[in-house]
Structure 1
Amino acid sequence: MWIAYEAFLCDSWPTYRRFAAVCTASAAIGADLARAALRDLAQTWEVVLSERSPAAVAWDFLTQRAHSSHTESVRRMRRVLELKEIDTLLRRYKLGLSAQRAAAHDGSVSSRVRRAAAPCCAQSDDDCEDIDMTLALSPRSWMVCAGARGEKDGG
């Protein structure tokens, strides 16, 4: 059981730390939040392993902590996007994770990650330098945007 936890830490720590740092605009605070979330996760690891999606449960430990410390920029996005959508955008475009890698961290399907990230991709991935541009597009544009870029489900 603890070997699985150690493997999970090796795989997840860099992304968890970077994600929390982006949410808080502080590498130190982000690392502290990620450490605290992973300590909490360790306390319930056996139960987490029995869940249908351990990655989703583990990600929730991190996001519960990170959401309370969002920067003003991220809080503005919360006016028009759901928290899971914001998380997806941050993983894809601030952390630079592929759709598959971003999905692996929260237990979702990579096609959902691409759809949620589509507003940021109206022109190209280069347009995603400023994550706040997502505010300009409505959620209805996500599927259209992903289709216009030729993205397909499943990979």
Structure 2
Amino acid sequence: MVNMEECSVRPVLDGGGDRDGRACALEARAAGSRCAEAAYAAFCREHWPVYSRFATAVVGSAPVGRDLARAALRDLGAQWTLALRSASPSRYAWTLLAKALAPHRAPGLRALYGGLRCAEADALVLRHRLGCSVAAAGRAMGLSPDAFELLRRTALANAAHPEDPHMPPADAA
């Protein structure tokens, strides 16, 4: 078994990754890190298509979206051992992506994100703008399909009935 504490990896993104699905690769500094390298590369191959499409939709620009998605995956590579130790590496990675995109949201989506929790708005974009299945969207966000569907339904309910900030919570229902 590979001791992840001893692994030192450096993410390197392949510039051609957008076209051929090989968005990420790791340069291993320790021979024992091959397992971490393979896991990171597999994660990137699996998640790159959704991450790049999502980022493009959120920022409203394909080149900027791809660059931000690449940067988030680069950040993930630098924190890969932490992600592997987390409860959900996919959830950890999604958090990095969401944080990278937040300052760059397209004007058309700012109201959605302003009225909902970030994860709720992300769920709506994945499911309703990108057309991802519940399973695929949940996998991207690091959630089970049931947890994703609950999040999406909560987002729809909150979007349909936003609370008036001037109304006491007891009167909002």
The TM-score, its normalising length taken from structure 2, stands at 0.68
C-alpha contact (below 8 Å) 2:127/2:134 kept by paired residues: yes
Q: Report the CA distance between 1:26 and its aligned residue.
A: 0.3
2:103 corresponding residue in structure 1: 68
Q: Number of aligned residue pairs: give it.
A: 128
Distance, in Å, in 2 between the alignment partners of 1:3 and 1:139 is 44
Q: Structure with the greater relative contact order (CA < 8 A, sep ≥ 6): 1 or 2?
A: 1
CA deviations over 1:66-94 (Å, ceiling 9, x no partner): 11111112111123211100000111111
RMSD: 2.1
Q: Determine which of 119, 139, 142 is the counterpart of 1:84.
A: 119
Amino acid at match of 2:92: V
CA contact (8 A) 2:121 2:155 kept: no
Q: How does 1:14-93 map to 2 (within 5 A)?
A: 14-93=49-128
Letter in 1 for 2:121: I
Determine if contact 1:20/1:33 at 8 Å carries over to the other structure: yes
On the 8 A contact 2:120/2:154 being kept in 1, the answer is no
Equivalence for 2:21? none
Helix, strand or coil at the partner of 2:99:
helix
Identity of aligned residues (%): 34
The letter of the residue matching 2:76 is L
> Contact 2:91/2:143 (CA < 8 Å) preserved in 1?
yes
Q: Secondary structure at the match of 1:79?
A: helix
Q: Distance in 1 between matches of 2:121 and 2:105?
A: 11
- CA offsets per residue over residues 79-133 of structure 1, 9 Å max, x none? 32111000001111111111111111111222232233337889xxxxxxxxxxx
TM-score, structure 1 as length reference: 0.75
- Measured in 1, the distance between the counterparts of 2:146 and 2:87 equals 19
Work out which of the two has the higher radius of gyration on C-alpha atoms and give 1 or 2.
2
Structure 2: runs of 5+ lacking an equivalent: 1-35, 164-173
Distance 2:118 2:126 in 1: 12
Q: 1:121 to 1:68 in 2, by over 3 A?
A: closer
Give ranges in structure 1 of 5+ residues lacking alignment.
123-133, 141-155
Deviation at 1:138, TM superposition (A): 1.8
Contact 2:58 2:101 in 1 (8 A): yes
Aligned equivalent of 2:47? 12
